Structure 1
Amino acid sequence: MAKVVATLALLSGLTPVAQAAPACWQEFCGKYPPAPQAGQWSSAHVSYDTAGRLKYASDSARNRVPDFSYVGYHHGEKPLPVMPDVVTISPVSGDNTAHLQKALDQVGARTPDANGHRGAVKLAAGRYEIRGTVRIRHNGVVLRGSGDTTTLFGRGDTPHQRTVVVLGSDSGKPWTTGAAVEVTTPFVQVGSLSLEVANATGFKVGQEVVVRHPSSQKWIDAVGGGGVVQDAKWTPGSMDLHWVRRIKAVDGRRLTFDAPIYNHLDRSLTISTVAPVTARNLVTESGVESLRVDVETKGGEDENHAWNAIGVFGADNSWVRSVKTRYFGYAGVVTERSVRITVKDAQATDPVAIRTGGRMYNFAANTNSHLVLFTGLHATKARHAFVSNGANSVAGVVWHRATVDGGDAEAHRRWSQGLLFDNIRELSGGNQAKLINRGDYGTSHGWGAAHSVIWDYNKEIVVQKPPTAQNYAVSGEGTRRSQPYFPGPWGSIEIKTGPLVPESLYEAQVVDRLAGTSASATRG
């Protein structure tokens, strides 16, 4: 009956606000809400109500913890698919780049099934010398190894500091947009799923759009010029925020999206817009699985070698899982110009480079990374093991249940929004998790993040409140740093002993959303 109602609503040009939620399929679904425990405590900002549903408290400026459950492949509503092997190859002598590329393109030429899947190239055990870049550039194609016994060995440095494996179109312009329409809602609260526009006649359900928050002079002034001290202040037009979304419902002038907006949209500071995507250049439903990527280096501070092991550049609803990477200079796995990506059960260890800026960012969310889930990770010898390095263009990224042996977790620069560092464990040393004003570090880094959360971290925690926003730390372990690095008030920091409920914010939010109904979607 619900399907009939939904169909009738679509035919009438409307989508009902209430829709049946997808089933919760993850292994943690049965853990939430948990049974009461002696000595348990919850955050003042997010906790369970008497009905076992999450409730969120807003402060006087309407800041609140956002819902991070929408990250990853199909917003976490589907498990990663297992595609059949359709081509199997073994290593050949010398450079295997063309050998692998031919097989991938062969599978890419197959007719996709109803899910858009074409199949996997299976790599037999062995070492595959790679002197170029292997590209998964077709929809519905998987590059799959045989586990640890399959190694892609990135040799040489041509071109300089290349990426060994690229999943995606690698397009410099993955989204092209049409005419924008003004957002008319006076104040869209962070975490909202809907807003009103001046004219919604050009929008329809299922359409991809870009919501844009221009960095006007008023907004730059409101955020204190970016938080810099002696460096140049941020400039209008250089810090626009944007979010790639799909329309779930159109009701009059109100648009409802498939994922939250991770910043306030305040018309008193800037006029935000929504624009339809008229063209996209992204690879969808593709993945890299079950292999190792090693980079040939001279060790020490050598930088004349492949720079990234795996780059997800220009992809949508795609994944990297069960991979191990070593000896890269920048990242083991890095995302860029991509949306709805899952990186699962991955290792990035032993980077080789000069230990300075722009290096050793083992799991990195770079420019235009949207709705990305990194989960089940291990990193070693990092500078920034888990890091947002795409500045204002990064929004909605989760690093979840990860371990690190040397390296911090942080929002690196210039107002990334909606980041969650959830159950990160440092195995040695005295590293940090940071959501701070980075001030004059780098090139006017300033406020690294807004509306972001550290949840249960076991070492030093540093969290500050940016103007117009808030950052949060909630932990049953760890310590609080005594002084910040650059000016700015402390954020919300709750560190207490006893069982923290929920144990994982991301997991609890997934269960709460998938076990509930989208009728509870927050309106702007």
Structure 2
Amino acid sequence: MELFNRTYTLILGIWACSTLTGQAQDLPDLLSNRAIAQANYLPDFSYAGYHFGEDPLPGLTEGEVLYATDFGVIPNDGRDDSKALQQAFSAAHEVPGPVTLQLPPGQIILSEVLYIERSHMVLRGSGSGANGTTIYCPRPMSYFADPPALSELREYLVELDKRQREPENNLDLPFSQYAWAGGVIWTRQPGVRTKAYLDKYDAEPVVLCKVLTGKRGTHQLTVTSSEKLKVGQVVQIEWYNTEGQKGSLIKALYGESPLKIGTHHWNYPTHPLVQQRALITRIAGNKVTIKDPLLMDIREAWAPTMVEWLHLEEVGIEHIRIAFPMAPNIAHHVEEGYNAIYLTRLFNGWVTDVKIENADSGILTEEIANVTVSDIETSGEKIAHYSVAMSGVYNVLVQRLRVRNVVRHPLSFNTFSTKSVYADCQVEVAPILDQHAGANHQNLFDNIRVNVSLNGADEYPLFAGGGAGYWKPAHGAYTTFWNIGVTFGDGFETTRVVTLNGMADGPMARLLGIYANRKIAVVYGPDAYIERVNSRISDIPSLYQYQLDMRTR
């Protein structure tokens, strides 16, 4: 209650201040009505992004600059540059301080994975436009040597007999290891699993302390001992379902609605069900203050623990175009590995000004936090699996993504994604605001524009969610949609209302400012808070930016 009162008072203070200056804002009830706001929790999404959204992305970074041409990279000569690029990457990894590897303008040919395995490194091209840097990959990753980091995934796919079965299309093919992992540019922490799939490879986490008290939305925790902690350290807070199929942590995630809960929520009690990467800002005895608000309450039954989280920092990829040849579309989950960028184990990093053409997946992610991905464009004739996908992420901001190609999951929050944001994005064809199951919750679709072809229908599944049944429901509590603008390109011969639907099992969502160039109705279940349908919230175009301004002013 104390946190709510502080936040609510701050909102009213800003509103009152703007009123005095003649700039009164037309706030929705969820922000302006105390009773409604108290009954419908709205997360603070403003901590998403590089340095918690408080610092701009670096321009010209400090440190040594290496030029790829000094290592034998010759653009536009039609020859493979992989070996020269590997030498340049090796040299960059040996520089003791911050380093930028500068790529020349023109086309560079790449047929091997380039791993970034150190902090304070920037891979910079000469621009994503016609006169900039193009990394051209003539072959998919399925023709590369198998990455050792994906050996557990390969074993998992075989052991669980993961196959794409479509009898109506005479199709029965094994899943590809590149359906949701891998990229020709890949950030990774050496010696750390990319993602856990099989229990037999589990190792004991490095436990720093147990967490004793703390309330969702606050910043202070009480721990058993702060002896292994220090200010500036990034740790992972973990919550476990120790109570089985009807556990209270499951109820906290999904509420009281009678939803079908997938077996992964209780079959793996030694795996955390909820995770938060947290920056420690203050330690006083056994009182620990973290930078951003606590994701969940601290309860003894959830065995809350603070563990070591190994990661890279200050890694950037910028100003390049990554292109693949047009290749046959085989099937969903059978992608050959035309994947551009794979971000893993990264904190306070960025990808900006990147254009990606004919990819299976543009940018894939796993276990990253406080990363900004901005000014990205995906295009091409190939049917893609993902554009920029969020999986296992925390406080990640994807901003100004333009999806110009057909993508099965154009904007997607996947397993364990929390407190992350798609903002100011545009999906030009076959849009889906996908939530892909796996305890993903408290995420934001913010100020999104989509183009829809109805093809004679009076409804469109804009909110359709994917994911495996063992991880259902499609999402947990407090997923938020703010100012979602729909442009229909057809269907104007009728005045019938168009229904936007597709989500049957995502509980306690918040949908505000869903509007279109035709009258619409919104159907979203269960226990959704819906406000301002057919009306854009013009005074607050972006909830993320509004909350950031409110927090930092």
TM-score by length of 1: 0.75
- 1:449 correspondence with 2:476: yes
User: Are the counterparts in 1 of residues 395 and 419 from structure 2 also a CA contact under 8 Å?
Assistant: yes
Give a deviation string over 1:444-463, Cα, whole Å, max 9, x none.
42141322211100133667
Distance 1:233 1:224, change over 3 A: farther
What is the aligned partner in structure 1 of residue 316 from structure 2? 287
- 1:125 correspondence with 2:102: no
Distance 1:465 1:66, change over 3 A: farther
Distance (whole Å) between structure 1 residues aligned to residue 352 and residue 266 of structure 2: 39
What is the aligned partner in structure 2 of residue 144 from structure 1? 124
Distance 1:265 1:349, change over 3 A: same
User: Are the counterparts in 1 of residues 474 and 505 from structure 2 also a CA contact under 8 Å?
Assistant: no
Distance 1:488 1:513, change over 3 A: closer
Structure 1 window deviating more from structure 2 (425-434 vs 96-105): it is 425-434
Distance (whole Å) between structure 1 residues aligned to residue 530 and residue 117 of structure 2: 43
What is the aligned partner in structure 2 of residue 76 from structure 1? 53
Give the residue type in structure 2 aligned to 1:144. Answer: R
- 1:258 correspondence with 2:291: yes
The secondary structure found in structure 1 opposite 2:302 is coil
User: Are the counterparts in 1 of residues 273 and 439 from structure 2 also a CA contact under 8 Å?
Assistant: no
User: Are the counterparts in 2 of residues 339 and 370 from structure 1 also a CA contact under 8 Å?
Assistant: yes
Distance 1:67 1:143, change over 3 A: same
Q: Which has the larger strand fraction?
A: 1
Q: 2:95 aligns with which of 95, 105, 110?
A: 110
Distance (whole Å) between structure 2 residues aligned to residue 441 and residue 315 of structure 1: 26
User: Are the counterparts in 2 of residues 180 and 276 from structure 1 also a CA contact under 8 Å?
Assistant: yes
Distance 1:466 1:445, change over 3 A: closer
**Larger relative contact order (C-alpha < 8 A, sep ≥ 6)?**
1
Distance 1:246 1:293, change over 3 A: same
Q: 1:153 aligns with which of 130, 136, 160?
A: 136
Distance (whole Å) between structure 1 residues aligned to residue 249 and residue 304 of structure 2: 18
User: Are the counterparts in 2 of residues 207 and 276 from structure 1 also a CA contact under 8 Å?
Assistant: no
Give a deviation string over 1:321-361, Cα, whole Å, max 9, x none.
000012111x21122121211111111223635xxxxx622
Distance 1:74 1:325, change over 3 A: same
What is the aligned partner in structure 1 of residue 173 from structure 2? none
Distance 1:235 1:172, change over 3 A: same
What is the aligned partner in structure 1 of residue 339 from structure 2? 308
What is the aligned partner in structure 1 of residue 279 from structure 2? 246
- 1:413 correspondence with 2:413: no
Distance (whole Å) between structure 1 residues aligned to residue 258 and residue 439 of structure 2: 10
Q: Residues 123-522 of structure 1 correspond to what in structure 2 (within 5 A)?
A: 123-147=103-127, 148=129, 149-156=132-139, 157-159=142-144, 161=178, 162-169=182-189, 171-172=192-193, 176-185=205-214, 188-189=215-216, 191-200=217-226, 202-216=228-242, 217=244, 218-219=247-248, 222=251, 223=254, 229=260, 234-236=265-267, 237=269, 240-262=273-295, 264-265=296-297, 267=299, 270-277=301-308, 280=310, 282-301=311-330, 305-329=336-360, 331-350=361-380, 352-353=382-383, 360-366=385-391, 368-380=392-404, 381-389=406-414, 391=415, 393-406=416-429, 407-429=431-453, 433-434=462-463, 442-459=469-486, 460=500, 470-475=508-513, 477-478=515-516, 481=521, 483-484=523-524, 488-495=526-533, 497=535, 499-515=537-553
Give the residue type in structure 2 aligned to 1:404. Answer: V
The secondary structure found in structure 2 opposite 1:458 is strand
- Figure out how many residues of one structure are paired with residues of the other and give that number: 448
User: Are the counterparts in 2 of residues 168 and 312 from structure 1 also a CA contact under 8 Å?
Assistant: yes
Distance 1:284 1:296, change over 3 A: same
- The percentage of aligned residue pairs carrying the same residue is 21
User: Are the counterparts in 2 of residues 294 and 328 from structure 1 also a CA contact under 8 Å?
Assistant: yes
What is the aligned partner in structure 2 of residue 59 from structure 1? 38
Unaligned runs of 5+ in 1: 1-31, 50-54, 354-358, 516-524
Distance (whole Å) between structure 2 residues aligned to residue 351 and residue 178 of structure 1: 48
Give a deviation string over 1:65-118, Cα, whole Å, max 9, x none.
111111111112222112264314233543222221221222232231xxxx22
Distance 1:464 1:195, change over 3 A: farther
What's the CA shift for 1:201? 5.1
Give a deviation string over 1:466-485, Cα, whole Å, max 9, x none.
66xx321111624765655x
What's the CA shift for 1:142? 1.5
Distance (whole Å) between structure 1 residues aligned to residue 482 and residue 550 of structure 2: 17
The secondary structure found in structure 2 opposite 1:121 is strand
Q: Which has the larger helix fraction?
A: 2
What's the CA shift for 1:131? 1.1
What's the CA shift for 1:365? 0.6
Distance 1:498 1:207, change over 3 A: closer
What's the CA shift for 1:414? 2.5
Give a deviation string over 1:393-450, Cα, whole Å, max 9, x none.
22221111011112212322122122111100013435655397x7x96544214132
The secondary structure found in structure 1 opposite 2:369 is strand
What's the CA shift for 1:252? 4.7
Give a deviation string over 1:2-37, Cα, whole Å, max 9, x none.
xxxxxxxxxxxxxxxxxxxxxxxxxxxxxx969766
Q: In angstroms, what is the RMSD of aligned CA positions? A: 3.4
Give the residue type in structure 1 aligned to 2:420. Answer: V
What's the CA shift for 1:137? 2.2
The secondary structure found in structure 1 opposite 2:135 is strand
TM-score by length of 2: 0.72
